[in-house]
Amino acid sequence: MSETSSKESTVKPQRSDEGSPVSTPALEAEHLSRAVVGKVITNNISVQVHVGEILAVVVPSGSGKSSFLRLLNRLDEPTNGVVRLRGQDYRELAPEELRRRVGMVMQSAYLFPGTVAENIKYGPSQQGSSLPVEQIAALLQRVGLSGYQKRDVSNLSGGEAQRVSIARTLANAPEVLLLDEPTSALDEESAREVEDLLLDIIRERQMTCVIVTHNNAQAGRLADRTMIIEDGKPVAVGPTSEVLKNG
């Protein structure tokens, strides 16, 4: 493990002058591991992410990046370790509540057949809520797609579809946003536009974010801190500029 990692393999919360923690981490993984048929996919990851912070997870292909995010959203179960949301073991939360509070945007926009509006209101409907048309319009305006409510998703470009996917996730007002290579399927111009949009929304809403990327430059543009994972195990974590310089 690198020198950066040895100092910050588990990032501690900031402390006041009296020595007491300033805040509980918004999201915390502690000794998080997952093995499938004897193969370790995620290996003993411990990290804390605070409110308003963006953590980039930089991994080579096939090094457990999607597995780590799936564990954070409890789409997979850990073999060992725990994930805490605002200090609470997420296994104590109903799956519906966890999915609402921890939103996830995938690298490809998996939209449901139908209209843009139908996709955006899907999440709240699963919670027994109806999303007002005014709020749908506001979400679409926020992601730069004003007037797209009735448009069929099959007629969207890749960049437009990813913006709808982001709006659909935001409709649940999540506290934490997990991004699994959200721009990898886009051309460079669309990717930078989506990056700018995500950064604006995260800062505006003071969301906590974990983004997985293979792109060091993207991590440098977006992330406050970066964790490098190799073979499912963290080898460095710390301020992005330091980690990428030493990587």
Helix or strand or coil: residue 47?
strand
Supply the pLDDT for residue 173.
Answer: 92
Per-residue pLDDT at 29: 97
| Integer Cα distance of 236 and 7 in angstroms | 9
- 150 within a domain of the structure (yes/no): no
CATH number for position 204:
3.40.50.300
> Has residue 128 been placed in a domain?
no
Q: What is the pLDDT of residue 63?
A: 57
Is residue 55 a part of any domain in this protein? Answer: yes
pLDDT of residue 12: 38
Please report whether residue 7 resides in a domain: yes
Identify whether the C-beta of residue 56 lies closer than 8 Å to the C-beta of residue 225.
Answer: yes
Query: Which residues form the domain of 226?
Result: 3-110+174-246
pLDDT at residue number 134: 95
Residues in the chain where the model's pLDDT stays below 70: 1-22, 61-65, 247
Which residue's entry shows tokens 């060992």?
80
Task: Decide if 137 is inside a domain.
Answer: no
Write out pLDDT tens, residues 72-112.
999 999 999 999 999 999 999 998 899 899 999 988 888 99
Q: Which of 61, 63, 60, 88 is nearest to 74 (CA)?
A: 88
Environment class of 11 (CB within 10 Å of its CB; exposed 0-12, middle 13-18, buried 19+)? buried
Total structural domains within the chain:
1
Residue 125 lies in a domain: no
SS3 48: strand
